[in-house]
Structure 1
Amino acid sequence: MRAIANSLAKLMAVLGGALLIFLIVMTCISITGRGLNTIGNMPFVKDNLAAIAGLLQQFAPITGDFELVEISMALAIFLFLPWCQLNRGHASVDLFTQRLLSGRGNEFLALIWEVLLVIIMVVITWRLYAGMRDKMLYGETTFLLTWPVWWGYAACFIAALFAVVVGVMSVLIHWNERGDAEHSSEQVGP
C-alpha cells in the first residue's frame, strides 16, 4: 500500500510543481508585457521615439493572468497535500510533547492529527463539491476569461479526493508501522 500511496502522492506533487513553473513563466511574461506596454505609452517615448513606442505598445499583459493564478494556486495546494500528508510534512508545534511524551506517545499523537486532517479534508472535499455544483447551477464565469468558475472547483475537488484517498492510506500505513514497531519490540524483549 505504501508504494501505491507514494506513487500517487509523488505524481500529484510533480503535477503541482509543473503547475507552479507554468505560473511563474506566465507571470513573468505578463509582467514584462505590462511593463513594455507602459513604457511604450509614456508621453516622452511617444513624442520622441515614435517607432519604438509603436513597437512597445504591441506588448501587453496576459489577459486574465490573475484569474489563472487564483485558480491554479488553489489547485497546486491540493496537489501538494498528499505528499505532505504521507511524509508527515505539515507544520507542527511539539515544544512540549517531545519532552512530556515518550516515542510511542508522540507517534500516537501524530496518528491522531493525521486522522483529524483526513476528517478535515473530507469536509473540504464535500464543500468543494457543493461549491462546484452551485457554480454549475448558476453559470458563474470569471471576469476577464469568462471561463466557468466551476472548472476551478472541479479541478480542486478531484485533487482533494486524491488527497483524501492518500490521507486514508497514510493513516493506515502509519497505523500498521506503529503496530509493527510494537510487535517487534515485544519480540526482542529485555
Structure 2
Amino acid sequence: MSLSEPDAGRRARALRSNFRRITAVLTGVMLLALTGVTLVDVLGRYFFSSPLPGATEMTELLVMAVVFAGLPAICLDDGHITVDLFTANLGGRAAAIQTAAARLVGAVILALVAWQLWEHGSRLASYGETTIYLRFPLGPVAKAASVLCAASALLLLAMTLLRLPKGTSEDI
C-alpha cells in the first residue's frame, strides 16, 4: 500500500480484509460441520446400516447457510460472476461507471430477493412450517437469508455511493 493511496481506499482494503477473515472462519466452521454430517452419515450407513437421522435436512440447511453467510463477503470483494466480453478493455472513467452500474443492479436484485425471502419466511412461519424429520422451523431460516441478502444489497449500495475502488480477493 502506498502513502498516496486515498484514505477511502485504505479503509476499504482494511474493512474487506477483516470482513473476509471473519467470513472465512464462519463459513469454514459451517463447511466442517457439513463435512462432519456427511462423514457420520456415510459411516453409519455403510458400517452400521444406520444413517444419521436428519442428515439430509442438516445438509440442506448447512449448504444454505454457507451460501448466504458468504454473500456479503462476495459483494464486498466485487466477486460476483461476470462476463467481460465487451467491458474487458474499459479503462478509467468508463470502468468506474461500469463498476457503479453493476453494483447498483446487484443491489436492486439483492434487495428484491431479500424482500421475497422475507415474505416467504413470513408465510412459512404463519403455517408453522418445519423440516420433516428434525422439525426445525423454516420461517426463521428464510428470514435470516433475507437479512443477509439485504445486508449485501446495502453493502453494494454503500460501495457505489462511496465510490470505493473495485476489490478482488487478491487485495486481501
Q: TM-score range by the shorter chain?
A: 0.7 to 0.9
Identity %: 26
Structure 1, unmatched stretches of 5+, are 39-59, 179-190
Match of 1:12 among 23, 27, 31: 23
Q: 2: CA distance between counterparts of 1:135 and 1:162?
A: 22
**Secondary structure at the counterpart of residue 88 of structure 2:** helix
Structure index of larger Rg: 1
- Partner residue in 1 for 2:135: 146
Q: 2: CA distance between counterparts of 1:158 and 1:72?
A: 17
Q: 2: CA distance between counterparts of 1:26 and 1:95?
A: 41
Q: 2: CA distance between counterparts of 1:80 and 1:66?
A: 21
Equivalent residue runs for 1:143-182 within 5 Å: 143-173=132-162, 175-177=163-165
Q: 1: CA distance between counterparts of 2:39 and 2:55?
A: 10
Q: 2: CA distance between counterparts of 1:169 and 1:137?
A: 33
Match of 1:63 among 32, 35, 53: 53
Q: Deviations over 1:15-68 (max 9, x none)?
A: 122211210111111111111123xxxxxxxxxxxxxxxxxxxxx222111111
Q: 2: CA distance between counterparts of 1:110 and 1:164?
A: 15
State TM-score, norm by structure 1: 0.71
The count of aligned residue pairs is 155
Stretches (4+) displaced over 6 A: none
**Secondary structure at the counterpart of residue 96 of structure 1:** coil
CA contact (8 A) 2:107 2:156 kept: yes
By how many angstroms is 1:148 displaced? Answer: 1.4
- Partner residue in 2 for 1:37: 48
State TM-score, norm by structure 2: 0.78
Letter in 2 for 1:30: D
1:74 aligns with 2:29: no
Letter in 2 for 1:85: C
Letter in 1 for 2:127: Y
By how many angstroms is 1:107 displaced? Answer: 2.6
Q: 2: CA distance between counterparts of 1:4 and 1:124?
A: 25
Letter in 1 for 2:72: P
**Inter-CA distance 29–141: structure 2 relative to 1 (3 Å threshold):** same
RMSD: 2.2
- Partner residue in 2 for 1:23: 34
1:95 aligns with 2:70: no
CA contact (8 A) 1:118 1:164 kept: yes
Q: 2: CA distance between counterparts of 1:11 and 1:176?
A: 21
